[in-house]
């Protein structure tokens, strides 16, 4: 009897000790601070589901890494400014992101001294990342030091003509739009769209530019064939949109390229014919918002494989997206800009850089974590249909489902479930497309413009003054000459020399 009592007492002591040990382990689990743009997830009733998503992120990370992740969601418009202020105030931020341009861009965040060199951390805790990216990491490398981990997705982009299918069907030209080959074919579609009973709607529009920028120019090169006259280039990481290069070592001003001038003149003709939304030259509203509002029917955009689904989601109606740069040997050039467009990094104020790198490495290799970060919690913010695609729960959409991000924004997109309409094998097809992309000769080029801040500011001001007008239909020889003169006066030749010198090393 005494033996049983002693054993019972010992078991009770062990149980209590285990309980306290468990409590201590739970209390002492290390936390990393992850700042991410909200991508609109906190609107439309989403705020009620963000806590569910963060709880699932932590269940996954605590079970697999022994790490707790505290998420800080910041609106995209103020993300870069708030992040820079937090880092300047030495607040702990362990993982952050860089995005398309401006204060959110890789170049700006690097120039501000916000990024930690990752070479040693990658060697110790990021072997999966090194194997995954290979030479692509050169794109986020400066002076031999890796500073960012690009989003692993289709990094090579193409130029697309994206058109609302409902307008094409109403005008009776859906088949004609699907089969355009020449600018004359496209103008015939525009003419039919003009005949719709929509007095405030235009066939084509944009946001301060129509077909110039982001490594592509549409409409130049002296050919009436759309696919022959759309040309791609590596912009060498130039965030101002002035620099073009070719794979033969030529680097110059994209605005004065004959192909660009030809496209500007074509747009002037289109504006006169009533094809272009006149406010395209001046509006700050996104093209997708204006398309959703039925202000215009189509636009040109650089995007990646699977663009139809993304644009349909953004606009809210089914889109037809034709790849205008689809000709052999010319599409999908993978350059430095692709590696710097979207990605994550470890800020200099990280309190746990090794844990941050372990988390990043895990994020790029965990299908469960990736689908949580992008689509949320299965059964709550998304469901899986019988085709193996993610979709909104019945009766919900992007504004009411509770949480929804874009699959190209973070981590490893090839681990995400395909979205409804993409097909069950979409990720496999996308990965195949990506791996076939030609690598630019300039991958890893780093043009240091940090000592040219005054020139950058002056050129930016000139670009904002003229770009919308010359690209959205208001081109005249006199206006263009004035633009070129002001560009040179702002210091463009010195700016160009920086990129030419950097390119000469490749």
Q: For residue 337, count other CB atoms closer than 10 A to its CB.
A: 24
Q: What is the pLDDT of residue 61?
A: 98
pLDDT beyond 60 at 290:
yes
Write the CA distances from 414 to 321, 347, 370, 377, 427, integer angstroms: 21, 26, 9, 18, 5
Q: What is the pLDDT of residue 273?
A: 96
Mean pLDDT along residues 132-147: 92
Residue pair 151/413 in contact by the 8 Å Cβ criterion: yes
Cα 413 from Cα 353, distance rounded (Å): 24
pLDDT beyond 70 at 245:
yes
Closest CA to 239 of 407, 99, 39: 99
Burial class (CB in 10 A: 0-12, 13-18, 19+), 452: middle
pLDDT digits (tens, 9 = 90+) for 70-117: 999 998 889 999 999 999 999 999 999 998 777 888 988 998 999 999
- Which residue's entry shows tokens 């409409």? 219
Write the CA distances from 222 to 228, 230, 256, 337, 500, integer angstroms: 9, 10, 15, 27, 26
- Name every residue whose Cβ is closer than 8 Å to that of residue 489 and which is 6 or more positions away in sequence: none
Residue pair 495/456 in contact by the 8 Å Cβ criterion: yes
Mean pLDDT along residues 319-344: 78
Write the CA distances from 463 to 199, 204, 242, 487, integer angstroms: 32, 22, 9, 8
Q: What is the pLDDT of residue 214?
A: 60
Helix (H) or strand (E) holding 301: strand 296-303
Least confidently predicted of 6-20, 249-263, 289-303, 362-376: 6-20
**Average pLDDT score over the chain:** 88
- Which residue's entry shows tokens 């290799």? 365
Burial class (CB in 10 A: 0-12, 13-18, 19+), 505: exposed
Angle between helices 492-503 and 453-471 (to 10 degrees): 100
Backbone angles phi, psi at 405, to 5 degrees: -115, -175
pTM: 0.74
Q: 282 or 450: whose pLDDT is higher?
A: 282
pLDDT beyond 80 at 136:
yes
Residue pair 122/130 in contact by the 8 Å Cβ criterion: yes
DSSP secondary structure of 108-167 = HHHHTT-BPP-HHHHHHH-HHHHHHHGGGGGGGEETTEE--EE-BS----EEEEEEEHHH
Share of the chain above pLDDT 70, in %: 90
Q: Tell me the pairing of strands 343-345 and 149-150.
A: antiparallel
Q: Is 352 left (phi over 0), alpha (psi -120 to 50) or beta?
A: beta
Least confidently predicted of 313-322, 453-462, 473-482: 313-322
Residue pair 503/247 in contact by the 8 Å Cβ criterion: no
Q: What is the pLDDT of residue 327?
A: 55
Q: 305: number of CA atoms within 13 Å, CB side?
A: 23
Q: What is the pLDDT of residue 24?
A: 37
Q: 154 or 374: whose pLDDT is higher?
A: 374
Q: What is the pLDDT of residue 181?
A: 92
Q: Could you tell me what percentage of the chain is helix, strand and coil, using 3-state DSSP and rounding each to the nearest 5?
A: 45, 15, 35
Q: For residue 16, count other CB atoms closer than 10 A to its CB.
A: 10
Coil, strand or helix at 421 = coil
Q: Tell me the pairing of strands 212-213 and 216-217.
A: antiparallel
Angle at 32 between CA 29 and CA 33, to 5 degrees: 140
pLDDT digits (tens, 9 = 90+) for 377-431: 999 999 999 999 999 999 998 888 989 998 888 999 999 999 998 899 999 999 9
Cα 402 from Cα 333, distance rounded (Å): 37
Q: Tell me the pairing of strands 68-74 and 31-37.
A: parallel
pLDDT digits (tens, 9 = 90+) for 47-65: 578 899 999 999 999 999 9
pLDDT beyond 70 at 456:
yes
Enter the DSSP assignment of 415.
G
DSSP secondary structure of 28-77 = H--EEEEEEE-TTTTSTTTHHHHHHHHHHHHHHHHHHHS-EEEEEEE-HH
342-376 per-residue burial string, b: 16 or more CB within 10 A, e: under 16: bbbbbbebbebbebbbbbbbbbbbbeebbbbbbbb
H helices present in 200-324, as ranges = 226-229, 258-272, 287-292, 307-315
Q: Which domains does the chain have, with CATH numbers?
A: 28-148+344-435 (3.40.190.10), 158-333+445-503 (3.40.190.10)
- Name every residue whose Cβ is closer than 8 Å to that of residue 357 and which is 6 or more positions away in sequence: 118, 121, 122, 124, 125, 126, 346
Query: Hey, what are 237's tokens?
Result: 């990481």
108-129 per-residue burial string, b: 16 or more CB within 10 A, e: under 16: bbbbbebbbbbeebbeebbeeb
- Name every residue whose Cβ is closer than 8 Å to that of residue 21 and which is 6 or more positions away in sequence: none
Q: What is the pLDDT of residue 331?
A: 53
Quick one: pLDDT band at residue 16, thresholds 50, 70, 90? very low
Quick one: pLDDT band at residue 325, thresholds 50, 70, 90? confident
pLDDT beyond 60 at 29:
yes
Quick one: pLDDT band at residue 326, thresholds 50, 70, 90? low
């Amino acid at each position: 009897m005494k033996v049983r009592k002693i054993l019972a007492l010992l078991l009770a002591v062990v149980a209590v000790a285990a309980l306290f040990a468990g409590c201590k382990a739970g209390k002492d689990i290390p936390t990393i601070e992850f700042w991410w743009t909200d991508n609109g997830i906190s609107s439309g009733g989403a705020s009620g589901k963000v806590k569910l998503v963060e709880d699932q992120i932590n269940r996954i990370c605590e079970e697999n890494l022994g790490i707790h992740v505290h998420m800080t969601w910041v609106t995209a418009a103020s993300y870069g400014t708030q992040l820079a202020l937090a880092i300047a105030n030495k607040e702990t931020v362990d993982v952050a992101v860089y995005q398309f341009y401006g204060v959110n861009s890789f170049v700006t965040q690097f120039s501000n001294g916000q990024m930690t060199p990752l070479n040693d951390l990658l060697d110790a805790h990021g072997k999966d990342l090194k194997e995954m990216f290979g030479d692509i990491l050169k794109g986020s490398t400066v002076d031999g030091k890796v500073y960012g981990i690009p989003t692993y997705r289709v990094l090579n982009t193409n130029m697309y003509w994206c058109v609302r299918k409902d307008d094409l069907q109403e005008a009776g030209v859906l088949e004609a739009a699907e089969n355009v080959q020449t600018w004359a074919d496209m103008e015939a579609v525009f003419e039919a769209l003009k005949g719709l009973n929509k007095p405030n709607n235009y066939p084509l529009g944009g946001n301060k530019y129509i077909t110039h920028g982001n490594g592509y120019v549409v409409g130049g090169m002296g050919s009436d064939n759309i696919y022959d006259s759309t040309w791609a280039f590596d912009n060498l990481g130039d965030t101002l949109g002035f620099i073009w290069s070719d794979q033969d070592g030529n680097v110059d001003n994209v605005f004065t390229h004959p192909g660009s001038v030809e496209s500007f003149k074509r747009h002037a003709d289109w504006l006169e014919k009533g094809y272009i939304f006149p406010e395209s030259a001046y509006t700050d509203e996104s093209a997708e918002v204006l398309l959703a509002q039925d202000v215009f029917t189509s636009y040109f955009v650089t995007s990646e494989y699977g663009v139809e689904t993304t644009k349909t989601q953004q606009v809210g109606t089914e889109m037809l997206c034709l790849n205008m740069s689809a000709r052999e040997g010319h599409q999908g050039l993978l350059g430095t800009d692709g590696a710097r467009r979207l990605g994550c990094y470890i800020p200099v104020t990280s309190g746990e850089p090794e844990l941050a790198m372990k988390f990043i490495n895990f994020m790029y290799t965990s299908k469960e974590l990736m689908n949580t970060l992008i689509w949320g919690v299965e059964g709550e913010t998304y469901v899986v249909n019988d085709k193996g695609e993610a979709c909104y729960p019945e009766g919900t959409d992007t504004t009411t489902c509770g949480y929804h991000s874009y699959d190209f924004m973070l981590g490893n997109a090839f681990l995400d479930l395909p979205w409804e309409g993409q097909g069950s094998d979409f990720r496999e097809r996308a990965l195949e497309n990506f791996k076939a992309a030609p690598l630019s000769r300039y991958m890893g080029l780093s043009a240091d413009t940090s000592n040219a801040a005054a020139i950058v500011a002056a050129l930016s001001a000139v670009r904002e003054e003229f770009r919308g007008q010359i690209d959205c239909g208001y081109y005249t020889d006199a206006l263009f000459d004035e633009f070129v003169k002001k560009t040179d006066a702002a210091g463009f030749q010195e700016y160009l020399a920086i990129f030419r010198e950097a390119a000469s090393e490749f």
